[in-house]
Amino acid sequence: MKHLLATVGCLAAIFVVGGLDHLFPSGVWTALGVTLVFVTMGLVIAGALRLLWHGLLRLGVVHHGPPSFRVQDGETDVYVHRWKGFAYTVLPAALGLLALVLAAKDGAPWEIWLGIVVAFAISGVLLWRYGPSRLLDRAPALVIDAHGIRDPVKGIDVGWDEVERLVPWEQVLFTTATNRWLGIVPRDEEAVLAHQARSVQIAAGLDKRAQVGEAPINVQLNLLATTTDELVAQIRRYWDGPIEGYPLERTSRPGFAVRRSRGHRFLVWAGNWLIAAAIGGVIIALCIWLGIA
């Protein structure tokens, strides 16, 4: 949905810039319009490739890989989202490598070299924290069972008898970027933090000083393949305590967090294809109008 909104927003901006260029002719408006056209074309191409990939998955042409989670041996194993893991790990290093080649060829100020180091550091830290096995969906990134909830990536291990309540929350970073978290509020904060990993204790202290977060212990959900609703549904298999925003009478229903039927998903997929084709046609017409096609 965010991808579609971004595409529509760029398309609307093209019309606005075109109108401004007509009223106040300037090379700045033309350059901005051309840039928006190429950005929108990139969004449409990316959306079309994404739709094609999902279509191939549904037809069974390509291997789907492990599901977002597996219920086995009395526990629920939640996996990393394959494409998000790839993007978070590989893209920063790829951008850093491209910047390194350009900087080595033509020279660059120290800010660019610092950015290159940061890009490689981001990829390195994520690869080190999650590991190749989790990024390839072969090892769980979150484990939920009758004992409690475990995050082997951050070193979080909390039993249900230690939990007072859970708080799913979101941290807005930019207009279209948010961090999803599952906050854990323990009955005895000091006792629970005492047997967590050192990094968890430090993070809890920093969050408390900065007054960030909704709980002392927070599990990041961004890279996980499950939605928040799906995660809550799996927690309800083992624990019926309070979850903020998810009352027990609603989350314990059999149909809660169940994915839509195949027919509904097919209609959504076909509708997205039609929308992408219509937007692509409008963009081509705009390119011809601007004289760049």
In the predicted structure, residue 292 carries a pLDDT above the cut 80: no
- What residue segments make up the domains of the chain, in order of their start? 2-65+261-290, 66-79+141-259, 81-139
How large is the average pLDDT for residues 133-161? 87
46: tokens are 């990316």
Which pLDDT value is given to residue 235? 94
Residues in the chain: 293
Give tens-digit pLDDT for 206-239. Answer: 888 888 888 999 998 988 888 888 899 999 999 9
Which tens digits make up the pLDDT trace of 82-102?
777 777 777 788 888 878 887
Ranking 10-14, 165-169, 256-260 by mean pLDDT, the lowest is 256-260
Q: Cβ-count burial of 112 within 10 angstroms (0-12 exposed, 13-18 middle, 19+ buried)?
A: middle
Region for 264 from its dihedrals, namely left if φ exceeds 0, alpha if ψ lies in -120 to 50, beta otherwise:
alpha
Is 45 a residue whose pLDDT tops 70? Answer: yes
Is residue 167 exposed (0-12), middle (13-18) or buried (19+ Cβ within 10 Å)? middle
- pLDDT tier for residue 293 given thresholds of 50, 70 and 90: very low
Read off the pLDDT of each residue in 108-123 and give the average, rounded to a whole number.
85
